[in-house]
Chain A
């Protein structure tokens, strides 16, 4: 029985306890008042009472825990096409599946195989959930949507997964081959052309007995080289085909025969040259990116750094494969990044161009990548090494002589301190701004969240964080840290999509709930997410998914009543434009979470935030109930009226580059 099943079975057995857990409208009114949420909420009690008699408690229907607790029933011949594919996914170790109904044969077959499966409220958010799951586990995650509308909902977050180089398996149903081009019935759409430029490989399956063969195509793409989404669409003739025995399927081989685990290893001459360059360097720095995580190369990375005194800065959709607590970490050492004289890019799949990295113009460059065709793109190299990340780092660890580089370590320490001092200054200003405006400044949110997660009673390695948001992210990323692989999912990584953060939180929460990959030691722990008021609106309905599966999460929403780019509609000659950038003020997003079976907190002053975090984290940890903390800010904090306004330099790697 999975953790997901156990959690829900527990809630089913103890009905009385469940009643206490359920967040009813009465409870949320009481809870809001008890939380000292302010006069506005308390004044609404009388108004809400008028509806109390009609109110029905939000509850999890018994079918949900019951069906989650059912034993897996892996398929065997005779099988449908969907069952063949689902069994293939199971054999290949697909670790999580996120969907909305539609593609019924397929999603039912995948659930029956025992793959942890989650059904949410929008296909786009479920695609983000699968992406987030993969980003913090390193494992392949799958997502599904139905036909035309469900599939087109998925596209934004397929794009985000593509920029993040996520091994995401996109599977969607798609009408029938026999009725192609007729627009018969509803929901017709040509899918493959719509993911052009957003995937590594894709295929509309059209020959039923080649379904196993094409599954092998898909997993060769997902498990080798540089990962990206793989998109398969299944017409009815494929998913509902019947196969009585293996001989009816083309290329029906075991996975040891349709693909290889072999990976490229570095040319010894290239390693010798790299060693020579590193030895000539005074201030070498490794950029540890996406490939280090997916190749599980973090131990080899640490050995290289330790042996030769090489600094390491992270730049990836996930963080923690080199601990921020390490003496050689440069992830918060901006000045040292500018000072590096040799940059070693390891697995930097989304490659910044000149000027996007903060390295100095005279730095020399080594790039290690499994894909030779990308080496030399954007940044001219002094040495390119085609290799898996782990193999190259193992070779370097072996070949490099021991070296301390004490002056470089001192410079790194000084740069980190300068960064921390600046963050403290921002916090001090943030407190003052908060007091002046009777709201909460984003620097205060970042500082309090950081202290709560890393300087209090919680093990600093424990909590996995979805670091999202637009403006708020510019501040919170200064205070968030990663001490072990997969501890931070960088929401906005390079595609910059506004909106997937709650979806990411569902997937990251599912990963921790099931203890997948590097999340295993923290199985069942709460996760924390950060987003803004613009972003949360796209995916807030997934609080229902968090509630339904009792995924324990604490989501901070920075509410400044506007899109983060609102200043573009003000000043500089803009006329009749500002209204397009603004929302109604003081919206109560936490009440939406409450209405969806979760908990809400409303924070309008700095002193309210840490208690709200403590309550929310405890509720998540003990009862699996998620909370949305609505932090009321001001849009004007992004202007020069409140320096540093929206900081441009917040953390290397938060996007693909230092910005």
Chain B
């Protein structure tokens, strides 16, 4: 998770206001380029698999429940306002499997950390299957 940060930190170093604007723009560009290079172009079939959802639940409990709660609703999180994973209509960073993949792998907002160094892509797709499985009926995995 912490590799390849040296150059990023250079761009984050505070400077003048104008400099900050330029820096922020460049950081965003830099970050976007990094993400684009590692993002898949389409969702894995695992997101439709009930078996993947079961495996994803274990990974979810280890990695996600402490912010989003065991049921995904994040009602009990006192640290910050985490997303209610059962209500995609309240999400800020997209609702498709690819959007969820991006949020898990690269982080989202101020608080959601990136998991790209601690979870494999397969694990992330399994977690997505679980997240979809606790959400609206129409999005849940259907394949055995």
Contact = CB atoms under 8 A, between A and B. Distances in A.
B12 A571 contact: no
Contact of A565 (B14, B62, B80): B80
Nearest to B13: A436
Nearest to B71: A355
A98 B81 CA distance: 38
B41 to A, nearest CB: 25
A355 B110 contact: no
Interface in A472-498: 496
Among B12, B61, B111, the one with the most A-chain Cβ atoms within 10 Å of its Cβ is B111
Interface in A604-659: 638-641, 643-646, 648, 659
Interface string B27-70: 00000000000000000000000000000001001100111001
A192 interface: no
A422 B45 CA distance: 34
A604 to B, nearest CB: 15
Contacts of A355: 61, 65, 70
Contact of B9 (A338, A436, A640, A644): A436
A129 to B, nearest CB: 25
A659 B109 contact: no
A496 B12 contact: no
A437 interface: yes
B107 interface: yes
A358 interface: yes
Nearest to A358: B62
A429 interface: yes
A433 B112 contact: no
Contact of A571 (B2, B14, B78, B109): B109
A36 B67 CA distance: 41
A496 B67 CA distance: 16
Contacts of A437: 13-14
A643 to B, nearest CB: 6
B110 A436 contact: no
B1 interface: yes
Contacts, number: 66
A568 B66 contact: no
A425 B2 contact: yes
A436 B12 CA distance: 8
Contacts of A425: 2
A640 B70 contact: no
A568 B80 contact: yes
Contacts of A197: none
A284 B80 CA distance: 35
Contacts of B80: 565, 567-568
Contacts of A354: 70
Nearest to B12: A641
A644 B111 contact: no
B1 A643 contact: yes
Interface in A537-590: 564-565, 567-568, 570-573
Given A437-B14, A567-B80, A572 B92 contact: yes
A493 to B, nearest CB: 14
Contact of A645 (B13, B70, B81, B113): B113
Given A496-B78, A568-B80, A572-B81, A648 B66 contact: yes
Nearest to B14: A437
B5 interface: yes
Nearest to A422: B2
A361 interface: yes
Interface in A341-377: 354-355, 358, 361
Interface string B93-107: 000000000000001
B79 interface: yes
B14 A643 contact: no
Nearest to A436: B13
Contacts of A496: 78
B114 interface: yes
Given A436-B9, A437-B14, A565-B80, A645 B111 contact: yes
Rank and list the top 10 A-B pairs by shortest CB-CB distance, nearest first.
A567-B110, A639-B110, A355-B70, A568-B80, A436-B13, A355-B65, A640-B107, A568-B81, A355-B61, A648-B66
11 contacts: A361-B58, A436-B14, A437-B13, A564-B79, A565-B79, A565-B80, A568-B80, A572-B81, A572-B92, A573-B92, A643-B113
Given A338-B62, A436-B13, 19 more contacts: A429-B5, A432-B9, A436-B9, A564-B79, A567-B111, A568-B81, A570-B110, A572-B81, A572-B92, A573-B92, A638-B110, A639-B111, A640-B114, A641-B110, A643-B1, A643-B113, A646-B79, A648-B66, A659-B66
